[in-house]
Amino acid sequence: MRSGRTELKGRHLVEPGDFSIEEMSGLFSLAERIEADPAYLRESCRGKLLATLFFEPSTRTRLSFEAAMLRLGGSCLGFAEPGSSSAAKGESLADTIKTVSCYADAIVMRNPKEGAAVVASRYASVPVVNGGDGGHHHPTQTLTDLLTIRRLRGRFEGLTVGFCGDLKFGRTVHSLAKALSRYTGVRMIFISPPELRVPDYITRGGLAKAGVEYRETDRLEKVMGELDVLYMTRVQRERFFNEEDYIRLKDSYILTMEKMAAAKDEMIVLHPLPRVNEIALEVDADPRAAYFKQAKYGMYVRMALLSSILGVV
Ligand code: NCD
């Protein structure tokens, strides 16, 4: 069987389902190879340009993409502040994308509008990677999350994964739940206040149809001991309609060492970051806290992704 990577040349990544399990697995193997030998692929993107178009704030996604491209020997251009682009003059996304396609070999875009990435992919003549579209999807965070689980737990099959926090607006949750539903025997527990429950299109519209075992609760303590992976998320302030609701819900869950005491020894805690208040700083020293390792794996998997869609590997 081919690795799957070669077929990724020129492809867009808008949502996790765009790549097959085999293609993702090929990317994880490549990321692991890069991690083991940082010199591998070092100059492979020499002469290639990556455009990073960020219409919303970002630290990890943008910088890890830029670090990935620079480590592959390529270069980056773009904006991190939409006010400095012609979007501020009223230019359409289609026109921006058609223009940037003339300059760059691939585009990573983050946009507050759900569906913006699929629109961009229709107008681009180079591969488009979705760096987050509103509360919808964030497929490269999913690649990061899956690689972290694979590295630290060795498999996906049969794991019980708890998602905790803002499951309504948290795009990383939507993408990861969808991706994990493709592996056999993964159980999911969604832990959120009733107002921030995971959308129906993910649960009844997706997981139930795929035959995935899942349940919902508002009590983290009740399920802690069952989990193999705990995926914490922040309450997505920027997607709330009013500040009072945000203030009421923002501290719904705070993971402390006291709560960690009920967890399995081999459970891992993931968080896409940024953390606001939902994981107490004391947890960082626990060996089960994996969120900063996760940020590092994010760079390796983006190196694997870029070299594959640019067709240099
Ligand atoms: C996430 C995002 O932007 O959706 N951050 C990230 O990319 N690592 C999570 C978040 O903002 O809460």
pTM given for the model: 0.97
Our measurement of the distance from residue 265's CA atom to the centroid of its chain's CA atoms, rounded to an integer in Å, reads 25
Ligand 1 neighbours by CB, cut-off 6 Å: 60-61, 132, 138, 141, 171-172, 233-234, 272-274
Q: Do 142 and 302 contact (CB within 8 A), yes or no?
A: no
Residue type, 304: A
* 209 burial via Cβ count (<10 Å: 0-12, 13-18, 19+): exposed
With bands split at pLDDT 50, 70 and 90, how would you rate the model's confidence at 6? low
Residue type, 230: L
pLDDT digits 0-9 by tens, 115-135: 999 999 999 999 999 999 999
Nearest residue (by CA) to ligand 1, atom 7, is 61
- Is the peptide bond preceding residue 199 cis, with omega within 30 degrees of 0? no
pLDDT digits 0-9 by tens, 275-313: 999 999 999 999 999 999 999 999 999 999 999 999 999
Alpha-carbon Rg for the chain, nearest whole angstrom, is: 19
Per-residue confidence (pLDDT) for residue 88, from 0 to 100: 87
Average the pLDDT over 171-194 and give the result: 98
Average the pLDDT over 81-98 and give the result: 92
Separation of CA 58 and ligand 1 centre (Å) = 7
Separation of CA 231 and ligand 1 centre (Å) = 12
Separation of CA 273 and ligand 1 centre (Å) = 6
Atom of ligand 1 minimally distant from the CA of 60: 8
The Cα–Cα gap between 4 and 308 comes to 9
Per-residue confidence (pLDDT) for residue 230, from 0 to 100: 98
Looking at 1-5, 7-11, 293-297, which range is the least confident one? 1-5
pLDDT digits 0-9 by tens, 25-62: 999 999 999 999 989 999 999 999 999 999 999 999 99
Q: Is 312 helix (H, G, I), strand (E, B) or coil?
A: coil
pLDDT digits 0-9 by tens, 223-280: 999 999 999 999 999 999 899 999 999 999 999 999 999 999 999 999 999 999 999 9
Is pLDDT of 182 > 50?
Answer: yes
Is pLDDT of 106 > 80?
Answer: yes
- Closest Cα partner for 229 from 203, 263, 255, 198? 263
Per-residue confidence (pLDDT) for residue 84, from 0 to 100: 86
Q: Is 94 helix (H, G, I), strand (E, B) or coil?
A: helix
Q: Which of 54, 59, 141 to mutate to test the pocket of ligand 1 (most atoms within 8 A of CB)?
A: 141
Nearest residue (by CA) to ligand 1, atom 8, is 272
Separation of CA 297 and ligand 1 centre (Å) = 15
